[in-house]
Chains A and B, each alone.
Chain A
Amino acid sequence: MMDAKIPVGDLADKWNNYKDSSKLINPANRKKLDIIVVGTGLAGSSCAATLAEQGYNVKSFCFQDSARRAHSVAAQGGVNAAKNYKNDGDSVYRMFYDTIKGGDFRSREANVYRLAECSLALIDQAVAQGVPFAREYGGYLNNRSFGGVQVSRTFYARGQTGQQLMIGAYQALMRQVSAGKVKTYTRHEMLELVLVDGKARGIIARNLETGEIERHAANAVVLATGGYGKVYYLSTLAMGCNSSAIWRAHKKGAFLSGVSWIQFHPTCLPQIGETQSKLTLMSESLRNDGRIWVPKKSGDERVPNEIPEEERDYYLERRYPTFGNLSPRDISSRAAKERIDAGCGVGPMKNAVCLDFSKAIKEQGRDKIEEKYGNLFRMYDKINGVDAYKEPMLISPAAHFTMGGLWVDYDLMTTIPGLFALGEANFSDHGANRLGANSLLQSCVDGYFIAPYTIPNYLSGELKAEKVTTDHPSFAEAEDSVREQLSRFLNLKGHLSADHFHKTLGRLLYNKCGLSRTRESLQEAIVEIRALKKSFDHELKITGDEGVNSELEKAGRVSDFLELGELMCHDALQREESCGAHFREEYQTSDGEAVRNDKDFCYVSAWEWKGEGAEPELHKEPLVFETVQLTVRSYK
């Protein structure tokens, strides 16, 4: 049974109790301790900068050419905080409750409460760094509402909130580089975790510019490497997003949790061709003013503007009158899929729904809509050549955020001592479904406010530990396995590209372990993924050499996705209920709503790697709810 080490005390006191009793390290001793942070998104940059400010020596790694380019930049809509600036009934407790409910009661109370609690300080921190959040004419911060909640608690910077928060964190990181407390390793990819006496003591990284394999030792390793939604190939993620760091840590003993909990974002641009590489996300904030509809009759061939009002089905407003177009993401995405599967989809591939602004433009004027969403309308026009002020946008659900990730305890430490996981790379706060604007929040809160307390708490016990250098045999062993894999890829005599396997895997997972799953589809998927892996191991073709080689980078990532994809299916198969983003068709009401089973499945899965070809072992962390009542999550 997994122990999350939740502190004692009332829910509202737990984090303070933790901070009051956690172990500290004398400033003079901090400079004797080295920390590796992999990933430079919001979680990685903020954690690296904050630890460096405290006096630790930090090495920061990213595969991008600059820390600033991590995929946190792509988050558009906003970041939540329970400031209650709108005086509309918000509070830390309310935000905690919305998040727990939004996650379909599959997350830890204590973690979620801490997230809501720390949200207040995050806004202060970001403003101090110069993040230009939207302001009212009086000079005070503005807010908007977002899916799944009834208050306005989302802070935003036009449609670029992620980019602006990222610039704040990146600049904080650069400040520590100039102070000599952080050394950055850009264009470096972590390919192996190094354990010494069962503790995380370093990594093996490949310099993507020179091809050199490097050893790096430290007293603790932090993985802030983001989510693995790119496993579907077509997704809202950046092309380089990958699961390799967490998967390789998993194979070294870190458990993975809730891996099948993957959020499909309801407002993305639909697929229109086979060579497509990306499903661009249009901010969910568009749902504040856009109305979602499909034609009432299936197979309607008319273009949207020709379909009269009475023949349109505003299915979210119809099915969920209280939340309407602002229903949570999992519900909105599934409702779209339901209509598309019923033959009511629009667009050339009949795989989209309409997001219509005509009413909002009539009521508020085009200027107001342009001020709020101008950049998004421009982006839509650029990609599709269509003016969305005149015709509805066509949108479709796309793989987006992974609630699953490395299992961590309350300290954000994995099952490997000294290995921490932050942000989307861990599973911790969102349960089976993440609410909009909570992801920027979680990554920042983990990096600025949680890890800088919990990592020192761990390191205090390491001060007297033996100094490990990269000469240790564990480093040589890990390096050998990395070299062996790379040379195997380069020497394969196959004929198919890494992208070919990635796309095949993506299609397979989308159909069998996507927006909805069945026992049968998952069992089939496991067999098919194993066959695909076998084919990958023999038929892959990598051209080029050991230097700059994007195909060689992809090969390692796709290899890991193939193994992770199989685990996703195992995870979805064992959970015989529907909860949040996990919708098992066997478990639904007659009107298509999810049926959760709290009696048997009120736990978090934690998977242990048992070796190549062996079945993974399931461990469980029971979820104990002391404060909230488990209810049926209704947005009707």
Chain B
Amino acid sequence: MKLYLKVWRQEHKESKGNMVNYEVDGISAHMSFLEMLDLLNERLIGKGERVIEFDHDCREGICGACGMMINGRAHGPLTGTTTCQLHMRGFKDGETVYIEPFRATAFPVLRDLKIDRSAFDHIIQSGGYISASTGQAPESNSIPIAHEVTEAAFDAAACIGCGACVATCKNSSAALFTSAKISHLVLLPQGKLESADRVIKMVGQMDAEGFGHCSNTEACEVECPQEISVLHIGRMNYEYNKALLLKK
């Protein structure tokens, strides 16, 4: 199969980027999308050109490193799927494919499709943890947790921090990412004690990083590779308002 690619190329953080055309033939249906880019890069090296830079690591959908806009959709056309798990059988011979980085003010482009997502680390640093130093833990079965509660906490904890929610949001909001962490920790008895302080700090940090507000379009849930529910955003808002009230 042959594809016509239009790929975002940008030298540096400050430089202006543009779309560059590439024709890639010899693509097999079994290849993953990133293997198709590997193939193109291999050919670019043969021609002495700089390769297309993109983030990727585990290539099994769990590390959250990869992520690009493919034909205008975060991680491409499939739902519940990271870019690395997208395979070429979903594309048609002769198709034109647009490839761009995840874009947001808080995610500056480093080069080509590589972006800086350290804003997510800063949000977690602001309070996305349970303060349990090594050695303090009680026996693990001493606090029973209902099966359903653990499962619900897990659903939120499944976030891989890829940034697709931000990239797809018209406001570049990090509400899904932040609320998933708040839900994960507030649902568990171990995380409840710090919940008020946590939610105020994390929401404050989210704003400080330059992410926009949530206006409930729910696009983030559609593009989330872990299919994390927007209901967590509702819980975050509830926890936030509760915390503000209790603070007064």
A134 within 8 A of B: yes
A170 within 8 A of B: yes
Known A175-B129, A378-B80, A548-B110; judge A64-B57 contact (CB<8 A). yes
B92 within 8 A of A: no
- A38 and B134 alpha carbons, distance in the complex (Å): 20
Contact, CB under 8 Å: A379 / B85: yes
A495 within 8 A of B: yes
Q: Which of A121, A134, A272, A277 touches B38 (beta carbons < 8 Å)?
A: A277
Contact, CB under 8 Å: A275 / B145: no
Please name all residues of chain B whose beta carbon is closer than 8 Å to the beta carbon of A157 when the two chains form the complex.
154
- For chain B, residues 136 to 151, give those with C-beta under 8 angstroms from any C-beta of chain A: 136-141, 143-147, 150-151
Q: Which of B35, B50, B81, B130 touches A382 (beta carbons < 8 Å)?
A: B81
Contact, CB under 8 Å: A139 / B146: yes
Contact, CB under 8 Å: A141 / B153: no
Contact, CB under 8 Å: A543 / B110: no
Per-residue 0/1 for A57-94: is the Cβ within 8 Å of any B Cβ (1 yes, 0 no)?
00000001111110101100000000101000000000
CB of B228 to closest CB in A, whole Å: 13
- For chain B, residues 8 to 58, give those with C-beta under 8 angstroms from any C-beta of chain A: 12, 28, 30-32, 34-35, 38-39, 41-42, 44-46, 48-51, 53, 55-58
Please name all residues of chain B whose beta carbon is closer than 8 Å to the beta carbon of A248 when the two chains form the complex.
none
- A225 and B58 alpha carbons, distance in the complex (Å): 15
Contact, CB under 8 Å: B62 / A136: no
Contact, CB under 8 Å: B140 / A543: no
- A497 and B41 alpha carbons, distance in the complex (Å): 9
Known A73-B63, A132-B157, A163-B160; judge A383-B85 contact (CB<8 A). yes
Contact, CB under 8 Å: A124 / B57: no
Q: Which of B78, B116, B129, B140 touches A141 (beta carbons < 8 Å)?
A: B140
Q: Which of A124, A137, A385 touches B140 (beta carbons < 8 Å)?
A: A124
Contact, CB under 8 Å: B134 / A125: yes
Contact, CB under 8 Å: B58 / A73: yes
- For chain A, residues 411 to 459, give those with C-beta under 8 angstroms from any C-beta of chain B: 448-449, 452
- A64 and B116 alpha carbons, distance in the complex (Å): 11
B64 within 8 A of A: yes
Known A139-B145, A272-B30, A449-B134; judge A543-B87 contact (CB<8 A). no
- A506 and B120 alpha carbons, distance in the complex (Å): 36
Q: Which of B59, B110, B138, B161 touches A238 (beta carbons < 8 Å)?
A: B59
A123 within 8 A of B: yes
- A273 and B32 alpha carbons, distance in the complex (Å): 11
Chain B residue, CB-CB nearest to A551: B51
Please name all residues of chain B whose beta carbon is closer than 8 Å to the beta carbon of A138 when the two chains form the complex.
144
A333 within 8 A of B: no
B111 within 8 A of A: yes
Q: Which of B35, B87, B185 touches A277 (beta carbons < 8 Å)?
A: B35
A130 within 8 A of B: yes
A133 within 8 A of B: yes
- A633 and B245 alpha carbons, distance in the complex (Å): 64
- A240 and B191 alpha carbons, distance in the complex (Å): 33
Contact, CB under 8 Å: B191 / A130: yes
A177 within 8 A of B: yes
- A209 and B185 alpha carbons, distance in the complex (Å): 32
Chain B residue, CB-CB nearest to A448: B134
Contact, CB under 8 Å: A548 / B114: yes
Per-residue 0/1 for B119-140: is the Cβ within 8 Å of any A Cβ (1 yes, 0 no)?
0110011111111111111111
B196 within 8 A of A: no
Contact, CB under 8 Å: B58 / A74: yes
Known A65-B116, A68-B64, A280-B60; judge A544-B130 contact (CB<8 A). no
Contact, CB under 8 Å: B42 / A66: no
Please name all residues of chain A whose beta carbon is closer than 8 Å to the beta carbon of B49 when the two chains form the complex.
543
- For chain A, residues 120 to 170, give those with C-beta under 8 angstroms from any C-beta of chain B: 121, 123-130, 132-141, 157-158, 160, 162-164, 167, 170
Chain B residue, CB-CB nearest to A157: B154
Contact, CB under 8 Å: A174 / B125: yes
Contact, CB under 8 Å: A275 / B51: no
CB of B145 to closest CB in A, whole Å: 5
Q: Which of A129, A140, A551 touches B141 (beta carbons < 8 Å)?
A: A140
Known A128-B138, A543-B44, A543-B48; judge A139-B144 contact (CB<8 A). yes
Which A residues lie at the B interface, using CB under 8 A?
46, 49-50, 53, 64-69, 71, 73-74, 83, 85, 121, 123-130, 132-141, 157-158, 160, 162-164, 167, 170-172, 174-175, 177-178, 184, 186, 209, 238-240, 272-273, 275-278, 280-281, 378-379, 382-383, 385, 448-449, 452, 495, 497, 499-500, 541, 543-545, 547-551
Q: 30 pairs across A/B with beta carbons < 8 Å?
A: A50-B134, A53-B134, A69-B64, A83-B140, A130-B191, A132-B150, A139-B144, A158-B154, A164-B154, A164-B157, A172-B132, A175-B125, A238-B57, A238-B58, A238-B59, A240-B57, A273-B28, A275-B35, A276-B35, A277-B34, A277-B59, A382-B61, A382-B81, A382-B85, A383-B87, A497-B42, A543-B45, A547-B111, A548-B53, A548-B114
